[in-house]
Amino acid sequence: MNEVIAPEEVAQDLNPVIEKMALNEHEQVVFCHDKASGLKAIIAIHNTTLGPALGGTRMWNYKNETEALNDVLRLSRGMTFKASISGLNLGGGKAVIIGDSYTQKSEALFRRFGKFVDSLGGKYITAEDVGISPKDMEYVNMETNHVSGLPITLGGSGDPSPVTAYGVYMGMKAAAKEQFGKDSLEGLKVTVQGVGHVGETLVKHLTEEGAKVTISDINKERVQEVAKKYGTEVVEGDAIYDVDMDIYAPCALGATVNNDTIARLKCSIIAGAANNQLLDEKEHGMLLKNRDVLYAPDFLINAGGLINVYREVEGISQERAMELTENIYNTTLDIFKKAKTDDITTHQAALALAESRIASIAELKTRR
């Protein structure tokens, strides 16, 4: 038996957690621990006004619990706005499993995690995210039905990435329409950073339309393979930020739009799939606005995958999911218009739209 901790000490440790929850108005944060399987996880439910909180589970070797907590709080908040702006009846949630996804996975760990998800009674619906494979989700699914994005063979909606890529493509076309007066990408110079599941399909759409595409990826084999398949140029490492381009499409990591890169980027548009592209939403959103670089908000244009997963929750058809994803084009144009009219950044305009839908539905729910 471990040493018992004094209640005052527990309260002291909890205070910063409660403060962080309060900062962005998270509804519930669940800390999961299981000694036998080695599971350490956090489930964060940000907002369930519109529906159950849906968001993937990420397995990552976080330096410590604080880093994991910060990540899950930030990601779950983003899911609320992504669902809202896409018109879905879903709330925002996310889970993180603290551990090495190469060495610390086991059936018991994922089944135990599944039991924790199940204990929330459907308030949180999980899915795959970074570090998690379909096989892992199969184990989670053995203990709970509150799992989405499963392979088609298991009755799910399959890989969401092609739908995400299509939505990003729609958002990019809307940005071209706003910035250059026509939505054709033919002849435009587009740089895609990261040609994984989403990036490769985006490159396919772009090259089919006649854009001049340059790609980068830290995976050398993959970048050569994709370049050969679609006839693109390749750039290595950080040199991507100095390429002569019209559009920068971050499809690898978050936070690549920051003081250093904004000073270097020569593009007129930023539109990509990565989550949390702006290192600082306010500061870097404003810097882009001042430089007349049009930023297509990430959580708006990368929502195709979530829309696809929504098929499993609401039972909508694949055709309807594609229609909703195509509509990202119109919503993106609306956001640009609002940003101009209100003289705010495009990120602020997107947030305002997402928040206003949540507020109006919350008000509606108070009525009979």
Q: Which residues bind ligand NAD (CB under 6 A)?
A: 160-161, 164, 193-199, 216-219, 222, 251-253, 273-275, 302, 305
210 sits in the region (left: phi over 0; alpha: psi -120 to 50; else beta) called left
Catalytic residue among 94, 105, 123, 289: 94
Nearer to ligand NAD, 126 or 161 (CB): 161
The secondary element (H helix, E strand) that includes residue 248 is strand 247-250
Shortest Å distance, C-beta 305 to ligand NAD: 3
Shortest Å distance, C-beta 298 to ligand NAD: 8
Phi, psi (degrees; rounded to nearest 5) at 275: -80, 150
Nearer to ligand NAD, 114 or 305 (CB): 305
Nearer to ligand NAD, 156 or 194 (CB): 194
Nearer to ligand NAD, 168 or 351 (CB): 168
Where are the extended beta strands (E) located within 69-184? Answer: 91-98, 124-125
Shortest Å distance, C-beta 323 to ligand NAD: 18
C-alpha dihedral (53, 85, 175, 349), degrees to nearest 10: -110
Phi, psi (degrees; rounded to nearest 5) at 291: -95, 5
Q: Is 94 a catalytic residue?
A: yes
Nearer to ligand NAD, 125 or 143 (CB): 125
- Of the candidates 156, 131, 129, the residue with the CA atom closest to the CA atom of residue 141: 156
CB 201 within 8 A of CB 363: no
Shortest Å distance, C-beta 297 to ligand NAD: 13
Residue 332 has which token pair?
A: 């993106």
**Count of all residues that appear for the chain in the document:** 368
Shortest Å distance, C-beta 7 to ligand NAD: 40
**Which residue in the shown chain puts its C-beta closest to ligand NAD?**
196
CB 257 within 8 A of CB 293: no
Nearer to ligand NAD, 164 or 325 (CB): 164
Distance CA 99, CA 97 (A): 6
Shortest Å distance, C-beta 252 to ligand NAD: 3
Distance CA 297, CA 302 (A): 9
Exposure string over 134-165, b if 16+ CB within 10 A, otherwise e: bebbbbbbebbebbbbbeeeeebbbbbbbbbb
Q: Which residues are paired to 214 by β-bridges?
A: 191, 233
Query: Looking at the annotation, which residues are catalytic?
Result: 94
